[in-house]
Amino acid sequence: MTEEPRGRLRTYKGTGVSPGIAIGRALILEKRGGSIYRVPIRPDDVAKELRRFDQAIAHTKAEIEDLREKVTRSMGDEYASIFDAHAMIIEDPSFVDEIRQRIESELISAEWAVTTVKDELLARFDSFEDAYLRERGEDISDVARTLIESLEGNARHDLSEIEHDVIILADDVTPSDAVHYNRKPIVGFATESGGRTSHTSIIAKSIFLPAVIGVPRLTEMIDNEELVIIDGWEGTIHVNPSRAMIEECLSRERRHREQEGRLLENRDVPPVTRDGRTVTLRANIELVPEVNDAIRFGAEGIGLYRSEFLYISKSPDLPSEDEHYEVYRELLEKMSPNTTIIRTFDLGGKKLAREVIGSDEDNPVLGLRGLRLCMRHRDMFRTQLRALYRASVHGDLWIMFPLVSNLQEVRHVKALLKEIERQLEAEGIEFRKDIPVGIMIEVPAAALIADILATEVDFFSIGTNDLIQYSLAIDRGNENVEYLYEPFHPGVLRMIRGVIRAGSEANIPVSLCGEMAGDPIFTAILLGLGLEHFSMSPASIPMVKSVITNLKYSDSRRIAEQALLRKTAQEIEEYVIEQVATRIPQGLSRFG
């Protein structure tokens, strides 16, 4: 803990996943069970913090006493005596005085002081040889947890009390954390782990929060309160920047914004190639307010609404039918008459579904997730589907199911939809009868049987993030194999080509809503493979549109054809970049 920032300029390199410059004071976020922030406090606030701690002790004592009584009644005195130990721990000066002392001398929040003292004690217990005694550390954990819960109950340390801008630094940030960062004083964040296409990165981008990920040992190398610049374009973090450096970053920010402004001028230009082929550019969003960004950047509809964020923001509770309905209605009304494709809950895998699944899985990414999870938890699913049907009268709703791997799944879910329709009819509730029903193609086997699947659905959307990671058998968030994440892999491109062909032969629309759709480097080849519907983060739309309006469809056909004759991802990438660079005056950049 430092009160005196180290003062030295340092620069760390990571991966920029959300563009922009953010300047603020470092706030290190520690994740241990709940979110406990290492929040610094002002010397003036020490007395207040100590009072808060004393109240928490009183509350914890009462709670332990209460528990003791309950257990005595139900199980007898012998069992209840375990709470004697808890009651003693909370009164033990070597515990509580130590915490008080740290609040005073280190100027930290009570929550953080409890956490550090507890962790140090646990480390000592962990070193015991006797297994039974070692496990007694649990008693300390228990008491510490109750203490922290009471602290959080009383005047929880609210980030909104912090008056200056802060940059969150953490070993990892979950999508649900990121959703909540969408407000002051948080202006940016950086993490030790994570991949470019992780959901956290997607969210950061969608709420325009500059973010840098994948900086090893970040939280150890930077101290709380140090001045930090996050450069989401370059993927760098500058600590204790000079005035000149701040100026330089800000002017770069201005240049980028100006460029973005120029791109935004094409907002109302239709996405048509120079030789007259029209495509649609829709937006991927997860939060309702992003509809405004979608409109601002010129999206012609929502190509992917990730409804699971509705769940994540309410977790651990499930949204009610009316809560679902209100969100969908608002989306549809705002986007009308354009299409809004709503994807049903894509939970599971790494996406926080433990409350729903109820247990950990050995291999969650290949486990109960996506449509599989929803079909297992029918009540939850019915609630969502009923709300979707009810909302369908407010706009052009298309419903999409994630992670389908065979035809049976499609048939089962369609049977469920029929059931919902009958139910709503019986209840006299109005809904649209012709809602298009589609699936995500993100499992390699599904891509290979796209012709079969196309006979039973109204549209496809290719989810390249998962499709790539499953077909290449690499975890896109794993730094060790991230180099193998190759969207230009000929196997990946052949699969995409196959799905687009199958769709076109069956006369159903095919869209692509993975990260590839929003990265201008892929625009020409996707266009050339015959893709007509692109869906991407709203901010990517102007750049992709400018690539499209500068290309000829006939040229991109040739580029795609020639590219697919090449044998490695690298050869294809080099070829495509070279071909496109000569046709696009402003050149290609990954971040518009």
Partner 1 sequence: MIEREIEISNKLGLHARAAAKLVHTAARFASDIKVKKGSEEVDGKSILGVLLLAAAKGSKITISADGSDENEAIESIQQLFDDKFDESE
Residue 92 interacts with partner 1 (CB under 8 A): yes or no: yes
Q: How many CA atoms lie within 13 A of 310 on its CB side?
A: 26
Which among 324, 394, 489, 513 is annotated as catalytic?
513
Candidates 88-96, 205-213, 366-374, 552-560; binding stretch for partner 1 (CB under 8 A): 88-96
- The single residue of 199, 238, 256, 377 carrying the catalytic annotation is 199
**Dist CA 567 CA 514 (whole Å):** 23
CB of 61 to partner 1, least distance (A): 14
Per DSSP bridges, beta strands 396-401 and 437-441 are: parallel
Within residues 62-81, the interface with partner 1 by CB under 8 A covers 81
Cα→Cα distances 584→297, 351, 487, 520, 565, Å = 20, 38, 21, 11, 23
CB of 60 to partner 1, least distance (A): 15
Report the SS3 class of residue 556.
helix
Question: Among residues 88, 155, 250, 366, which is the contact residue for partner 1, using CB under 8 A?
Answer: 88
The Cα 565–Cα 576 span in angstroms is: 12
543 sits in which H/E element: helix 541-550
Stretches 90-98, 177-185, 464-472, 479-487: which one binds partner 1 (CB under 8 A)? 90-98
Is residue 99 a contact point for partner 1 (CB under 8 A)? no
Looking at the Cβ atoms of 93 and 585, the one nearer to partner 1 is: 93
Check residue 247 for interaction with partner 1 (CB under 8 A): no
Cis peptide bond upstream of 337, omega within 30: yes
Q: Does 85 help bind partner 1 (rule: CB under 8 A)?
A: yes
513 is catalytic: yes
Regarding 128 and contact with partner 1 (CB under 8 A), the answer is yes
How many residues bind to partner 1 according to rule CB under 8 A?
A: 22
Active-site residue 324, yes or no? no
Residue 120 vs 505, nearer CB to partner 1: 120
Comparing CB distances to partner 1, the nearer of 93 and 358 is 93
- Minimum distance of partner 1 from residue 95's CB (angstroms): 5
Whichever of 22 and 89 has its CB closer to partner 1, that residue is 89
**Alpha-helix residue ranges (DSSP H) falling in 40-188:** 46-75, 77-80, 82-91, 93-106, 110-126, 131-134, 137-153, 175-180
Minimum gap (Å) between residue 111 Cβ and partner 1: 20
Find the binder of partner 1 among 104, 122, 125, 414 (CB under 8 A): 125
Contact call for residues 188 and 232 (beta carbons, < 8 A)? yes
Using CB under 8 A as the binding rule, whether residue 120 contacts partner 1 is answered as no
Q: Which is nearer to partner 1, 62 or 88 (CB)?
A: 88
Residue 70: CB atoms within 10 Å: 12
Nearer to partner 1, 140 or 492 (CB): 140
Subset of residues 133 to 162 that bind partner 1, contact rule: CB under 8 A: 133-134, 136, 139-140
- Please choose, from the candidates 568, 551, 553, the residue with its C-alpha nearest in 3D space to the C-alpha of residue 493: 568
Between CA 531 and CA 510 the distance in angstroms is 7
**Alpha-carbon span 527 to 355, nearest angstrom:** 41
What is the Cα–Cα distance from 100 to 114, expressed in whole angstroms?
Answer: 9
Using CB under 8 A, list all residues that contact partner 1.
81-82, 84-85, 88-89, 92-95, 121, 124-125, 128-130, 132-134, 136, 139-140
* Catalytic residue list: 199, 513
